[in-house]
A and B are shown apart, each in its own frame.
Chain A
């Protein structure tokens, strides 16, 4: 369960504080419910995911995580000067998996399908390759909730299929909080929906209603 209470967030810009990206946002994500987040570009989807993931702090309000929550996959987490393998090792150590590094590395290497690039610096990767590595890295660890920032759109068609299969395997034991281009991926994995609009959050128990509300707002 994740409890979000009276969350306010805005950023500091060179011209002073920005408008409120999120304004008085409250909702509860129950256990084992996967949520799709919808909203226009710049509506605050990534900001919300970063706040839920705990890598950014709200100006006011708080987020309570009563379960193990992944870092927002697809959002940073890779050191460009290190190779894919070194990044993966770093992650294992940070998460206290010093003992089973070989198994984790084997899983990540196999999942990401990077070939020889696994031992090349991450700065030489294309964005699709980075996405695949990040995807493999997060799936190598057991979390109750995975936060995915358009991670399903990484890579080519065959990788996307693999990613969606991996996501489907998670359903039941873990849940997802995700954003994605297009509602296809969301409908595949999520039951509930959040529509972000003008700094406000609208919670829908049924994802279809969230999609409808979102599409109405953009005039489709």
Chain B
């Protein structure tokens, strides 16, 4: 579109950046204030989840998992898996939630996906920091990372994986609504085999090796190793594998966005 002379022309990059900013603020408001106590629940959810799991582990008398305190093991597992889980599910629902805003030519479906992923990663980071700080000061859990770089690379990998999976799923759900049910069913086995609540070390071979095909395992293991160098990492852990899966998923997801851009807009 060419502009008439009396109006200043914005570069495509400037338009995209202003759309991202507007969408980011719009998403933040809804995420933190739409439902009653939305911000509180964001923090309460991982805490309650950890508590429930801790009670179960205490009943079956597990105090140490793979060389670290069970509470530390659980907190890292549950907060880090939700980096992936939340990002994936929020990105998956982004198009539907922002459909009315596509009435403005400047706002493209892919913008809403990327902005949601960014917001979710940002919120996850804050939740992790608050939860861990609380555990350190209140319960004296050893969560001060021995290698912060490793923890961060695990976090980043899980976030990218969530983004990639969400990008693919968002197109799938828009084109074939029934896919939502199938993706929902898939999420259970993905969680169970990720090693977030079920210690993979307690599983016998050859099944343990099979579980390593789940890319999330690698992110969680590396994050735990980063927190405590005493942690016995599962043999075969390979952070590169997680990143490879994530980038394949992101590439596939973006390609699907381009291929079906018109169909997504048109319905």
Contact = CB atoms under 8 A, between A and B. Distances in A.
The reply to whether chain A is a binding partner of chain B is yes
Interface of A: 11-12, 53-57, 65-69, 71-72, 75-82, 86, 89-91, 93-96, 98, 142, 144
B100 A91 contact: no
Interface string B230-267: 00000000000000000000000000000000110111
How many chain B residues sit at the interface, stated as a range, is: 20 to 34
Contact of B104 (A11, A91, A98): A91
B182 interface: no
A168 B2 CA distance: 26
A90 B100 contact: no
Contacts of A142: 7
A82 B10 contact: no
Contacts of B10: 96
5 closest A-B pairs by CB: A93-B22, A76-B103, A77-B103, A57-B262, A76-B100
B101 to A, nearest CB: 6
Residue of B4, B15, B104, B107 with most partner-chain A CB within 10 A? B104
Contact of B26 (A57, A71, A76, A82): A82
Nearest to B100: A76
Interface in B1-30: 1-4, 7, 10, 14-15, 18-19, 21-23, 25-26, 29-30
User: In terms of DSSP, what is the predominant structure of the interface of chain B?
Assistant: helix
Interface string B187-201: 000000000000000
Interface of B: 1-4, 7, 10, 14-15, 18-19, 21-23, 25-26, 29-30, 34, 98-107, 262-263, 265-267
B266 A56 contact: yes
B194 to A, nearest CB: 32
Given A68-B7, A71-B103, 10 more contacts: A12-B263, A55-B102, A55-B105, A57-B266, A69-B1, A80-B100, A81-B34, A90-B22, A90-B101, A91-B104
A81 B99 CA distance: 13
A94 B265 contact: no
Contacts of A82: 26, 29-30
B96 to A, nearest CB: 12
Given A81-B30, A82-B29, A76 B102 contact: yes
Given A72-B103, A77-B103, A94 B18 contact: yes
9 contacts: A69-B1, A81-B34, A82-B30, A89-B22, A94-B19, A94-B22, A94-B104, A96-B15, A98-B18
Contacts of B263: 12
A117 to B, nearest CB: 18
